[in-house]
Chains A and B, each alone.
Chain A
Amino acid sequence: MWIEIAHFSTLIALLLAGVLLVAPLAGLRWQQVVWIRVGRQAAFFACGLLTLASAGLILSFLNHDFSVKYVAEHASLKLPIFYLATAMWGGHEGSLLLWAWLLSLFIAIAAWRHWQTHPVSMPWVLSISGGLLLGFLLLVVFLSSPFERLMNPPFDGRDLNPLLQDPGMVFHPPFLYMGYVGFAIPYAFAMAALITAQGDSEWILATRRWTLFSWAMLTIGIVFGAYWAYYELGWGGYWAWDPVENASFMPWLTGLAFLHSVMVQERRRMFRTWNLFLIITTFALSLLGTFLVRSGVLSSVHAFATDPGRGVYILIFMAALLLFSFGLLTSRADLLKETPKLESGLSREFSFLINNLFLVAGACTVLLGTLYPLAVETLSTAKVSVGAPYYNKVFIPIMLGMLLLMGVGPIIPWQRSSWTRLRQEFLPALLLGILGAAVAPLIGITHPSGAIAFGLILFVSSTHLKDVLHNIRIRMQRDSLSAPGALWRLIGRNKRRYGGLFVHLGTLVTVAGFVGSGLFQEERDLFMSVGDSMQIGSWNLTLESIGKTARRNWQADEAVIRAERVGAEPIHLTPQKRVYNEHSQPTTEAAIYSTWREDLYVVLGDGVKEGVWAFRVYRNPLISWVWVGSTLMVIGVFWAMLQGRRAARSQD
């Protein structure tokens, strides 16, 4: 019943997407504002209908309607209600519906918020986003329908993949998609600006919050994914350079480049073509991310479906998008010619340019490593994989370079500076950084990259701190405020700048986490029987017992391990090996004890003989810093989003 409603609303939404594509253009062609209004209304109705469609699919899950193929494949009677409600995006078809729903929602918000402020570009924004929505709904309706019925409904469903029955995995896809889809709006505005040849940098001001929002969502999505991999997959790490992780990392990198380089356009009217290139690339990579994950071409845990039809469709869709966007960009090249030239290498805009080079090189690295194996497989019979060592080799220097630039970029003046001034500004911080890197091995950071990262973290924090203190002092004198009052006013008045600096702070914390967990992880494989002990780091682990435990839809072997450390209360860890009812394969549930200093991570292996079990124990230093740091980053972005655009122009 609900599924029919969902199906019909999607079909009508498909028609409305067509209207959204055509009506505004017709309105422009025949000078009829009413047609543009029709397009706008179509956007609202499409959003409403797709909301209904998604609700219908979710209700079918909640009602255990196994006559729906998608429900039968991704749920079971025993699946807890939380996972039932979110199983909508547990597979390919529902995920694409979620994509389309989010897109319609964002289009409706854009049509609502920007209608008054951007009358010239609005018809084009509506039409372009209508084209995108149409493209996605065609895919949902004809090639990947979650509404398909089964002639003989099974009594019970096949259940959701146990690995996906985890809160981290529940929130990972929607956030990722919000990020992906969010870039569609700046993209549509950019294209509209190119077509109407109006407004110059207006599209950037208009979409600043959209871009920040999308990037923040992408960050949250990626971190949820990493967190899930860490908690659920039981291999002690959180990032494996899996093609699916890569797929979300590429738009993140180019989106980050875009966030920085638009500042240059806003301030100095430079990089106009480059920014258009970046937003097109970022949105195209978002689509590529969807394509890679949802077409099944990759050998990866996430590739749920193997159906080439969808893949081909998305490839054609992407090709059309790229041809349209870059074709438009080249045909409008004359508009973009007159830009001010870079005046000096010692300027903020130049440091942003280098920052962009690093980020784009990073994106190319990932693109090469992800697509090359596919190309080899397609063009020859050989199969090849590109392992983590490649990415680590490239990304460690890139990360270190980015850190150095991060210390310089926000401080160095726009337009031009001099060596003398730079020396005053940066020399103490630089010396501190070098000293830090030299001392690092003495405090346990024995790895060279780790030592350099440590020095750079000191460098960046001191340049940032110096800047903030300097501004606090000025405020204190000018407005006769106390130090905290001055800081508060500073942060409140210029949310963009201080939001950005806060993101940098979060980045430093995250990088510290990368260094600690990436370079100093300890790993031990061993056997224990009840009563045995082992030592890792400062911890002493004793196996107290092994037994069985069960919940509604799984049963497990569970070990109870007492972990002790001098000067602390003993804690208990209970790693499990679970078998979910509908599945024969066991899944490991790692037991994790997390402190700010390190994580203790215990995985239960197989029983090797009577009473003897295999264990894998990790000590992951500073890993919680990754989660904390990325949270700070997101908070910083949201803070920056709070600032309206007028204030943005008048203040530095």
Chain B
Amino acid sequence: MSISLNRRIFMIITLILVAGSLGFLVLSSFTGALVYFHTPTEALAKNQELTGKKIRIGGMVQTGSLAKESGTLKIRFLVTDGKAQIPVRYEGMVPDLFREGQGVVVEGTWRAGEDFLADTILAKHSEDYVPVEMNEQGIAKSKESLLKSLK
């Protein structure tokens, strides 16, 4: 059976429009959505270029640095990777696993020369399992294995 040209054009145009807008939707949302992860040393080194960007900083909460402002949910602490440290401020309830001397990942917008104002603290992993982002060995391992398998 032959199919009329008009109907075929209608179908093709609809398909292209739908597929195109879906593709556009996915890709345009994707480009803005990446949040890069830095250690305190990296973040300080890239001070200028990171300004205004949403980033994650990961390290340890330096022992003795955690200060709570009495009567509020405001806290301040230092995130350190052993070499550099970044002062972080946060307001709100912290996750169960957040404490001094433990690994933490904070997310927020980087402003050069100011304290890092975190809008999220990630530490939702239990003590048995450190966040993979925090575990250099784990990262090196999984990278190795992926590379091996890609070869």
* Interface residues of A, Cβ cutoff 8 Å to B: 158, 161-163, 233-235, 295-301, 303-304, 306, 308-309, 311-312, 315-316, 341-345, 350, 353-354, 357-358, 361, 364-365, 368-369, 372, 374, 377-378, 382-387, 389-390, 393-394, 397-398, 525, 527, 577, 583-588, 603, 605-606, 608-609, 612, 614, 616
* Binary interface encoding of chain B residues 95-113 relative to chain A, with 1 for a CB under 8 A from any of its CBs, else 0: 0110000000000000000
Interface residues of B in 26-68 (CB under 8 A from A): 26, 29-30, 32-37, 56, 68
CA distance A345 to B23 in the complex (A): 21
Report the separation of the CA atoms of residues A158 and B36 in the bound assembly, to the nearest whole angstrom.
35
Contact B70 A616 (CB under 8 A): no
Given A350-B11, A361-B26, A608-B70, A384 contacting B36 (CB threshold 8 A) = yes
Q: With contacts A312-B149, A393-B33, A527-B71 known, is A368 near B93, CB below 8 A?
A: no
**Known A296-B142, A298-B132, A527-B73; contact A386-B126, beta-carbon cutoff 8 A:** no
Set of chain B residues within 8 Å of A343, measured between Cβ atoms:
1, 3, 7
Taking a contact as CB atoms under 8 Å apart, the answer to whether B143 and A394 are in contact is: no
22 example contacts (A-B, Cβ-Cβ < 8 A) are as follows: A295-B142, A300-B132, A303-B129, A303-B132, A306-B142, A308-B142, A350-B11, A354-B18, A361-B25, A368-B30, A369-B33, A372-B30, A377-B143, A383-B133, A384-B35, A384-B37, A393-B33, A394-B29, A525-B91, A583-B126, A606-B93, A616-B93
Are the C-beta atoms of A386 and B34 separated by less than 8 Å?
yes
Residue pair B71, A608 in contact (C-beta under 8 Å): yes
Query: A296-B138, A368-B26, A369-B30 are contacts. A301–B124 as well, Cβ < 8 Å?
Result: yes
State whether A387 touches B35 (Cβ < 8 A).
yes
Known: A527-B71, A605-B93. A384 touches B34 (CB 8 A): yes
Does B87 have its Cβ within 8 Å of any Cβ on chain A? no
Whether B5 is near chain A, meaning CB under 8 Å from some CB there, is no
Closest A residue to B135 by beta carbon equals A306
| B37 in complex: contacting residue of A364, A383, A583, CB < 8 Å | A383
Using Cβ atoms and an 8 Å threshold, which residues of chain B touch A300?
Answer: 132
Please indicate the chain B residues that have their CB under 8 angstroms from the CB of A298 in the complex.
132
Partner of B142 from the list A297, A365, A385, A612 (CB cut-off 8 Å) is A297
The answer to whether A344 and B125 have CB atoms under 8 Å apart is no
Rounded to whole angstroms, the CA-CA distance of A297 and B133 in the bound complex is 10
Structural contact, B7 and A614, CB atoms closer than 8 A: no
Residue of A234, A345, A372 near B10 (CB, 8 A) is A345
| A-chain residues with CB within 8 Å of residue B70 when the two chains form the complex | 608-609
- Known contacts A235-B124, A378-B150, A585-B127; can you find 8 more A-B pairs with CB under 8 A? A306-B141, A308-B145, A342-B11, A383-B36, A393-B25, A398-B22, A584-B127, A585-B126
Q: For the complex, what is the distance from the CA of A374 to the CA of B147, rounded to whole Å?
A: 11
Instruction: List chain B residues, Cβ under 8 A from A389.
Output: 33
Lowest 7 CB-CB distances: which A-B pairs, in order? A308-B145, A390-B33, A299-B132, A383-B37, A361-B22, A393-B29, A345-B11
Which of B30, B96, B144 counts the most A-chain CB atoms under 10 A from its CB? Answer: B96
Chain B residues closer than 8 Å to A369, beta-carbon distance: 30, 33
B124 and A385 contact, CB distance less than 8 A: no
**Pairwise interchain contact B127-A583, C-beta atoms closer than 8 A:** yes
How far is it, in angstroms, between the C-alpha of A383 and the C-alpha of B25 when the chains are bound?
24
Task: Evaluate contact between B73 and A525: CB separation under 8 angstroms.
Answer: yes
Complex alpha-carbon distance, A138 and B108, angstroms: 45
Whole-angstrom CA separation of A374 from B146 in the bound complex? 9
Chain B: minimal CB distance from A71 (Å)? 16
Least Cβ–Cβ distance between A574 and chain B, in angstroms:
18
- Residues in chain B near residue A341, CB distance under 8 A: 3
Nearest CB on A from B63, distance (A): 16
Q: Which A residues touch B124, using CB under 8 A?
A: 233, 235, 301
Bound form: Cα–Cα A514–B139 in Å: 35
B145 engages A385 (CB within 8 Å): no
Beta-carbon contact of B30 and A390 below 8 Å: yes
For the complex, give the distance between the alpha carbons of A588 and B106 in Å. Answer: 20
| Chain B residues whose CB sits within 8 angstroms of the CB of A384 once the complex forms | 34-37
- B139 touching A386, Cβ below 8 Å: no
